[in-house]
Amino acid sequence: MQLVLPLSTPPRYTFDNLIVHEGNEGAVTALRSLLFSPDGVLPHIFLFGPPGTGKTHLLHAFITEWEQKSAPGTHARIIIPQKAEPRFEELEELAARPDLMDSLVALAVDDVPRIDRELGSLLLVIFNKLTRMGAALLIASCESPAHFSPDDPHLRSRILSGLVLELTPPEDPVRMLILDKMARDKNVRIPREVAGYLVTRKSRNIKELERIVDILDRKSLQLKRRITVPLIKLLEEDGLL
């Protein structure tokens, strides 16, 4: 099962709320330039980088704005596999019924793992259909281009025939800014010393930091205590962090 996001709802991920840093600046610049390209042609795009580097944020921000500038009657789709069942059922449906792609200007698939033969076959069918339509396939993956499709070099060369953009992790000061913004978006106050502790002692992975913020928010409300380093250490002792 996977989540298909309706792009008509207010997006959580936008370019306006993306913190740009050295590790994503090149990708952000390249994608934003496509939005203002006079020919309006969207190439196939492959975003890659370690977990927590902002691939999901950038993919959503771009595909939402691209749909907004596209012709009436067309749409874009984002597919996100659920962790508990990492099959791509929506891709299977699209491969079996290519007519479902007739009005697509772009199909974005997030969190694509290393490709096996089954997933590779699905992507090849979809890639060829989108190419004939003049539409684009956008993929975000933790796998580097060299390891993306080890069993099928031909498929790898097709998927990587467009724009390949790498994202790298931010430095700790930028992580602290991202953590602060993430917390404020959740109406959670994270003091600077807490942010520093989390980034240097707990995790440098942004998604993991978001999970920790959710735990801290919940526990601070339950215990009626402010979020502080002593509270974090207490939760660590109890095995909750």
Q: DSSP characters for 11-38?
A: PS--STT----TTTHHHHHHHHHHHT-T
pLDDT digits (tens, 9 = 90+) for 78-121: 888 765 555 678 888 888 887 888 888 889 988 888 777 778 88
**So where are the chain's domains?**
2-166, 172-237
**What is the maximum alpha-carbon separation in the chain?**
59
pLDDT digits (tens, 9 = 90+) for 151-177: 778 888 888 889 999 999 999 999 999
CATH code given to domain 2-166: 3.40.50.300
Fold of 172-237: Helicase, Ruva Protein; domain 3 (1.10.8)
pLDDT digits (tens, 9 = 90+) for 27-59: 999 999 988 887 777 889 999 999 889 998 999
pLDDT value of position 82? 62
